[in-house]
Amino acid sequence: MLSLPRKMAGMEEQVKLLVALQDLDLMIKEANDADTSSEMKQMGFKFDGIAELSKARENLSKRIRPQLLNRYERLAKSYGRAVVPVTGNLCLGCFVTLPTSYPSLKSKDSFLTCQNCGRILYFP
Amino acid sequence: MRTMMKPHELAEFFHESLCIFDLKAVDKHTALQEMVNCVGDRLRFKDRDLLLDMLVNRESLGSTAIGKGVAFPHGRSLAIQELIVLFARSVEGIDFDALDSKPTHLFFLIIAPPQDRDNLYLQVLGHLVELIKTPALRKRLMEVNTFGELRDALASA
């Protein structure tokens, strides 16, 4: 059972859903990667539930606003990672320092993007 | 081919605050939750549900309980910044959908950021899986009660 909110959530929750989606996309990518999956299988792990992950991705996508999801998909295509964490005012996507006032600009109706690379910012 | 990590190097990834010697959980979901809460407490981490969801998804790909009473819940998440290794033990044992259908007693939770240096995550996971194949180590880990004893058991394996 997943623990993230079921309803179409406020923007901060929407960004969290994007982080969950990106984690899931990475898991699917690694499960489909021949080298990684072979290494995991050699360790003794089963990798037979890729269909389950695809279903989970579909369900998660439905809870994200279409406009935000489109933006995520576009950025993921360009950069690989569409959402990046911010640590010490640094965008960990392009390593540009963000203005110190940036976190305070977050509101329940908007999300923040890096002014240099355009990636969606996540504040852990 | 990966370089073999020495047992004492592996032991360095463990931390006193990331050990649960007596898991209270009685099922798979609450066991994951208890381990994630321990990580959250140590890192003062707000989005624990992100880690929990990632681990639940990983379990749906295939159980991480590889048998002989041991499980390695693992995965990558953007929500964390550094490699996390947690040890947990359930004396009673938990049904973790193990490959041999037996209860799981020993847990090694490993969580890494999406990109980690030298793919440390897979190295640590691989070496732990190898080490734990030794029956004497599994027996010893069922008896350790302090972080020092855990570290000694791993370092001398």
Ordered structural domains, chain A, with CATH? 11-122 (1.10.287.1490)
* Beta-strand runs (E) in chain A: 83-87, 90-91, 120-122
Question: Residue B50: inside a domain, yes or no?
Answer: yes
- Does residue B48 sit within a domain? yes
Interface membership of B92 toward A (CB under 8 Å): no
Residue B144 forms part of a structural domain: yes
The model's pTM = 0.91
If you average pLDDT over residues B126-151, what whole number do you get? 95
Count: domains in chain B: 1
Contact A17, A60 (CB under 8 A): yes
Dihedral sign (CA B92, B36, B53, A44): negative
Residue B73 within any structural domain of the chain: yes
Which one is catalytic: B8, B15, B29, B74? B74
Predicted local confidence at residue A32, as pLDDT: 93
B23-71 pLDDT tens trace: 999 999 999 999 999 999 988 888 899 999 999 999 999 999 999 999 9
Containing structural domain, residue B79? 7-155
CATH number at residue B42: 3.40.930.10
This model of the complex carries an ipTM of 0.89
Question: Which pair of tokens denotes residue A89?
Answer: 């005012």
Asked, for residue B1, whether it belongs to a domain, the answer is: no
* B149 domain residue, yes or no: yes
What rounded mean pLDDT belongs to chain B? 93
Q: Is B45 on the interface with A (CB under 8 A)?
A: yes
Please give the pLDDT value at position B74.
97
pLDDT-above-90 percentage for chain B: 81
Q: Is the pLDDT of residue A95 over 90?
A: yes
Query: Average pLDDT of chain A?
Result: 88
Neighboring chain B residues of A31 at a CB cutoff of 8 Å: 61
Tell whether B132 is covered by a domain: yes
At residue A12, the pLDDT reads 85
> Do the domain assignments include residue B116?
yes
